[in-house]
C-alpha cells in the first residue's frame, strides 16, 4: 500500500510538472512572479515594516492611507538577464516604482495631467532617463509594461510604446537594495510612497 501511494504521488508530481511546463511554453517561456492568490515568492523588504500588501481577485494591492507608509515588497529570487511583464494601476496622485535587480527603478507616477516626459515621470528610469515618448494612462486605468535588462542595458515598452531602447544604466537610481550593480538582484515593488495595484506579473530569464 505504501509503495502504491508513493507511486501515485510521483505520478501526480510528474503530471503537475508537465502541466506547468506546457503552460510556460504557451506563454513563450514566461513564468508567473505572482500566483494571484497570496504572497508566495515575495517578502517584505523590512521585516518590521507595516504590512500594507494584500491580494484580492488576482490583484496584488498596496494600500497606504494618508499619513501612512507601507513597505517595499521584494522577490525571494534574484535575477540577472531577463524580461519581465506586468500591469499596474494607481489612484490619483499616487507614487510607486518597479525595481529591476532591486537597484534600477522604473517610475510609477500619476503624471497624466502633465502630458510630457520627465526624469522623475511615469515610465522613467528614475532620475536617469526620461521616456522617449509620453505613453502614460490616466489614474485608475491599467498600464502594461514589458521591461528587459541585459547586462547594464534596459529596454522598456509602456502601453505598447517603446519608451527606452537599450539605455545604459551603470548606477543605482535611489532607494536601492544595495549598490552591487554587477550582481543578480531581486525585483521589488515600491510600497512606502503610496497605493498601487499589480497583476499579471511574469518573467523570462535570458542567457
| Span 47-79, pLDDT tens digits | 887 789 999 999 999 998 867 788 999 999 999
Better-predicted residue by pLDDT, 205 or 192: 205
Per mean pLDDT, which range of 45-49, 84-88, 149-153 is the poorest?
45-49
The per-residue pLDDT for 5 is 45
Buried b (16+ CB within 10 A) or exposed e, 88-102: bbbeeebbbbbbbbb
pLDDT in tens, 27-38: 799 999 999 999
Q: Work out the pLDDT band at 132, boundaries 50, 70, 90.
A: very high
Mean pLDDT of 176-192: 97
Three-state DSSP state, 71: coil
Q: What share of the chain in percent tops pLDDT 70?
A: 86
The C-alpha R_g of the chain, in whole angstroms, comes to 18
Better-predicted residue by pLDDT, 16 or 207: 207
Mean pLDDT of 105-111: 97
DSSP state string for 146-186: EEEEETTEEEEEETTEEEEEEEE--S--SS-S-S-TTS-B-
The domain made up of 33-205 is a member of CATH 2.60.120.560? yes
CA dist., res. 112 & res. 158, Å (int): 13
The per-residue pLDDT for 1 is 56
The number of C-alpha atoms within 13 Å of 5 and in the hemisphere containing its C-beta is 2
What is the pTM (predicted TM-score) of this model?
0.87
The dihedral over CA atoms of 21, 53, 51, 189, expressed in degrees to the nearest 10, equals 70
CA dist., res. 127 & res. 206, Å (int): 26
Decide if 102 contacts 177 (C-beta within 8 A): yes
Per domain, the residue ranges of the chain are: 1-30, 33-205
Q: Work out the pLDDT band at 25, boundaries 50, 70, 90.
A: low
CA dist., res. 167 & res. 51, Å (int): 34
The per-residue pLDDT for 15 is 45
Strand-pair partners of 205: 82
Amino acid at each position: 500500500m505504501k509503495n502504491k501511494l508513493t507511486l501515485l504521488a510521483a505520478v501526480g508530481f510528474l503530471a503537475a510538472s508537465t502541466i506547468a511546463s506546457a503552460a510556460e511554453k504557451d506563454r513563450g517561456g514566461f513564468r508567473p512572479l505572482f500566483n494571484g492568490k497570496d504572497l508566495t515568492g515575495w517578502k517584505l523588504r523590512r521585516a518590521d515594516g507595516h504590512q500594507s500588501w494584500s491580494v484580492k481577485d488576482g490583484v496584488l494591492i498596496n494600500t497606504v492611507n494618508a499619513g501612512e507608509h507601507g513597505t517595499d515588497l521584494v522577490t525571494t529570487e534574484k535575477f540577472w538577464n531577463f524580461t519581465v511583464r506586468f500591469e499596474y494601476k494607481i489612484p490619483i496622485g499616487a507614487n510607486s516604482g518597479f525595481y529591476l535587480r532591486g537597484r534600477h527603478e522604473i517610475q510609477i507616477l500619476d503624471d497624466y495631467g502633465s502630458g510630457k516626459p520627465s526624469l522623475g515621470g511615469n515610465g522613467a528610469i528614475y532620475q536617469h532617463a526620461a521616456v522617449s515618448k509620453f505613453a502614460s494612462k490616466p489614474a485608475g486605468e491599467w498600464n502594461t509594461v514589458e521591461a528587459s535588462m541585459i547586462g547594464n542595458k534596459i529596454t522598456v515598452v509602456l502601453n505598447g510604446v517603446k519608451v527606452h531602447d537599450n539605455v545604459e544604466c551603470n548606477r543605482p537610481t535611489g532607494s536601492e537594495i544595495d549598490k552591487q550593480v554587477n550582481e543578480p538582484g531581486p525585483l521589488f515593488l515600491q510600497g512606502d510612497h503610496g497605493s498601487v495595484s499589480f497583476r499579471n506579473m511574469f518573467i523570462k530569464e535570458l542567457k
